[in-house]
Amino acid sequence: MKKNERDGQALTSAMLEGDRVALARLITAVENRGSDTAAIMSRVYARCSDTFIIGITGPPGAGKSTITSCLVQHLRARDQSVGVVAIDPSSPFSGGSVLGDRIRMQDHFLDPEVFIRSLSTRGSHGGLARAGRDVARIFGAYGKDVVIIETVGVGQTELDIMEVADTVAVVLVPESGDTVQVMKAGLLEIADLFVVNKADREGAVRMKTELQTMLSLRAGSGGEDTWEVPVLLTEAHNGKGTEEILNGCLAHHERPGDEERSRNRGQRLREEVIEICTEELVRRLHERSDDAPLAPVLERVARGEQDPYAAALEIINNDVSLARVLSGGDE
Q: What is the CATH number of the domain that holds 124?
A: 3.40.50.300
User: pTM, whole model, 2 decimals?
Assistant: 0.84
Is 261 a domain residue?
no
Instruction: Please give the average pLDDT of every successive group of 10 residues along the chain, which has 331 residues.
Output: 72 93 93 87 86 89 90 96 82 40 61 88 54 91 94 59 87 73 68 93 90 80 72 94 96 79 79 88 87 90 95 89 71 46
The Cβ of residue 278 has, within 10 Å, a number of other Cβ atoms equal to: 10
Domain count across the chain: 3
Question: Please, are residues 69 and 180 in contact by the beta-carbon 8 Å criterion?
Answer: no
Residue type, position 156, single letter:
Q
Q: Are residues 106 and 36 in the same domain?
A: no
Considering the domain architecture, whether residues 13 and 68 belong to the same structural domain is answered as: no
Q: Report the distance separating Cα 264 and Cα 257, nearest Å.
A: 12
Q: How far apart are CA 295 and CA 329, in angstroms?
A: 14
100 with 155, same domain: the answer is: yes
Give the domain range for residue 40: 1-46
One DSSP character per residue, 184-216 reads HHTHHHH-SEEEE--TTSTTHHHHHHHHHHHHH
Burial (CB count within 10 angstroms: exposed 0-12, middle 13-18, buried 19+), residue 326: middle
222 and 312 in a single domain? The answer is no
> Are 36 and 120 part of one and the same domain?
no
| Same domain, residue pair 250 and 173 | yes
Same-domain pairing of 213 and 295: no
| Residue 115 C-beta-side C-alpha neighbours within 13 Å | 22
Is residue 262 included in any domain, yes or no? Answer: no
Res 27: pLDDT: 93
Domain match, 54 and 15 both? no
Q: Is the domain of 176 the same as that of 162?
A: yes
